[in-house]
Amino acid sequence: MDVFECIQGRRSVRAYGKESVPVEKIVQIIDAGLDAPSAGNTQPWEFIIVSDKKVKEEVYNVSLQQEHIKKASTLIVVLANKKRFSSKYGDRGRELYCIQDTAACTENMLLAAHALGLGACWVGAFDELRLKGVLGITDDDIKPVVILTIGETVPYEIPENPGRIAMDKITWAERYGEKPKWILPYQRKHRLSYEPLDQTLIKAKEKIDEKISQASEKEASKASETEKKGTEKPKKKGFLDFFRKLTR
């Protein structure tokens, strides 16, 4: 699997098989996390590996009771140790870099899990203080950033790509808001058409409505002209009536 295949094939997997993930794979995943970049190579990350059923249940209870937390074989809780930043980068390091670094570390771990054929999901929705309580973290400078759920994959439980906003809608050239036209021919095809389905349908209906109203206006002006000339013909049911019926 090359890096693009790995990036494109990774999904947030929330259903797992019953088998436990072997510890050597967990070690390999964390090792991939350690290779992430960090500001000034400060490496603020620390990890708590949770595999005990009772602890998982407690984590589940402080994380909106998301089922995949309970069902995962292993949780890796990624922590940011803000102390490592204090002297070097001040507030920007403590509040921003440590989050960016742990996020980069987490993405590395997600990709590694995928490359190892495992399913994993980034969980950010949890009550931070209660999670610290569950995990016995008393230090104010240790911040839980992510809970990574990891388990064996079940082939038919791997979700579809939920879609991405097309690159040309969010990428600018030189100044914000200026479109780089050259992106269009190069961006991946499936991104070109991505919009949540209901939005696509709403837009399609708006377009049809607009066409109908334009055609109706044309028809009305034609009718008034023929009326003026006194040569009115019987109305034919056609394409327009079909669309009117369809969008009613």
Ligand X SMILES: Cc1cc2nc3c(=O)[nH]c(=O)nc-3n(C[C@H](O)[C@H](O)[C@H](O)COP(=O)(O)O)c2cc1C
User: Is residue 70 a contact residue for ligand X (CB under 6 A)?
Assistant: no
174: left (phi over 0), alpha (psi -120 to 50) or beta: left
As a whole number of angstroms, the distance between CA 31 and CA 12 comes to 20
CB of 121 to ligand X, least distance (A): 5
Site string for ligand X, 141-170 (x = CB under 6 A): ---------------------x--------
Q: Which stretch binds ligand X (CB under 6 A): 11-19, 45-53, 215-223, 228-236?
A: 11-19
Count of residues that bind ligand X according to CB under 6 A: 10
Q: Which residues contact 135 (CB under 8 A, 6 or more apart)?
A: 48, 50, 55, 59, 77, 144
User: Is residue 14 a contact residue for ligand X (CB under 6 A)?
Assistant: yes
DSSP strand pairing (142-152 vs 45-50): unpaired
User: Is residue 125 a contact residue for ligand X (CB under 6 A)?
Assistant: yes
User: Is residue 61 a contact residue for ligand X (CB under 6 A)?
Assistant: no
* SS3 assignment, position 154: coil
Q: Which stretch binds ligand X (CB under 6 A): 6-14, 91-99, 184-192, 225-233?
A: 6-14
User: Is residue 124 a contact residue for ligand X (CB under 6 A)?
Assistant: yes
User: Is residue 56 a contact residue for ligand X (CB under 6 A)?
Assistant: no
Which residue type is seen at 61? N
CB of 110 to ligand X, least distance (A): 8
Radius of gyration of the chain measured on its C-alpha atoms: 28
Q: Please, which residue, 14 or 25, has the CB nearer to ligand X?
A: 14
Q: Please, which residue, 122 or 243, has the CB nearer to ligand X?
A: 122
CB of 72 to ligand X, least distance (A): 11
As a whole number of angstroms, the distance between CA 151 and CA 71 comes to 8
* SS3 assignment, position 188: coil
224: left (phi over 0), alpha (psi -120 to 50) or beta: alpha
CB of 239 to ligand X, least distance (A): 41
User: Is residue 123 a contact residue for ligand X (CB under 6 A)?
Assistant: yes
User: Is residue 66 a contact residue for ligand X (CB under 6 A)?
Assistant: yes
As a whole number of angstroms, the distance between CA 235 and CA 2 comes to 64
Residue 240 sits at the vertex; the CA angle it makes with 239 and 242, to the nearest 5 degrees, is: 65
CB of 8 to ligand X, least distance (A): 10
Q: Which stretch binds ligand X (CB under 6 A): 80-88, 115-123, 187-195, 201-209?
A: 115-123
As a whole number of angstroms, the distance between CA 58 and CA 126 comes to 12
Q: Are 147 and 75 in contact (CB under 8 A)?
A: yes
User: Is residue 197 a contact residue for ligand X (CB under 6 A)?
Assistant: no
User: Is residue 11 a contact residue for ligand X (CB under 6 A)?
Assistant: yes
Give the residues lining the site for ligand X (CB under 6 A): 11-12, 14, 66, 121-125, 162
